[in-house]
Structure 1
Amino acid sequence: MYGWIWLIAGLVLTGAELVAPGVFLIWLGAAALFTGAISLLFGLPLSAEFALFAVSAFLTVFAGRALAQRAPIISDDPLLNERTARLIGRKVIVVEALQGGEGRVRVSDGVWSAIGPEAAVGTWVEVVAAHGARLVVEPVPPDVQPRLSEGN
Structure 2
Amino acid sequence: MPDWLTNMEPHWAWLSLGVLLAAAEIVAPGFFLIWIGAAAIVTGIVAWVAPIGVPVQLGLFALLAVVILYGARKWLRDNPITSTDPHLNQRASRLVGEVLTVTTAIEDGRGRARVGDGEWPVHGPDAAEGAKVRVVSADGGVLVVEAA
TM-score by length of 1: 0.80
Give the residue type in structure 2 aligned to 1:98. I
In structure 2, the gaps of 5 or more residues are: 1-8
Aligned partner (choices 31, 44, 47) of residue 39 of structure 2: 31
TM-superposed CA distance for 1:19, in Å, is: 4.2
Q: How far is 1:48 from its partner?
A: 2.8
- Letter of the 2:70 partner, please give it: F
- Which residue does the alignment assign to 2:18? 10
Deviation at 1:134, TM superposition (A): 0.5
Alpha-carbon distance in structure 2 between the residues aligned to 1:18 and 1:105: 42
The whole-number CA distance in structure 2 between the counterparts of 1:12 and 1:76 is 32
Q: CA deviation at 1:54?
A: 1.5
Could you tell me which of 81, 91, 112 is aligned with 2:99?
A: 91
The aligned residue for residue 129 of structure 1 is 137
| Structure 1 runs not aligned, ≥5 long | 141-152
Pick from 60, 78, 101: which aligns with 2:109?
101
Cα RMSD (Å) of the superposition? 2.0
Query: Which portions of structure 1, spanning 4 or more consecutive aligned residues, are displaced by more than 6 angstroms?
Result: none
Structure 2 letter corresponding to 1:122? G
1:7 counterpart letter in structure 2: L
SS of the aligned residue for 2:31 comes to coil
Q: How many positions carry a matched residue from both structures?
A: 140
Q: TM-score, normalised by structure 2?
A: 0.82
Partners of 2:101 and 2:143 lie apart in 1 by 12
Distance 2:94 2:101 in 1: 17
Partner of 1:148: none
Shift of 1:13: 2.1
Paired with 1:61 and 1:87, the residues of 2 have a C-alpha distance of 39
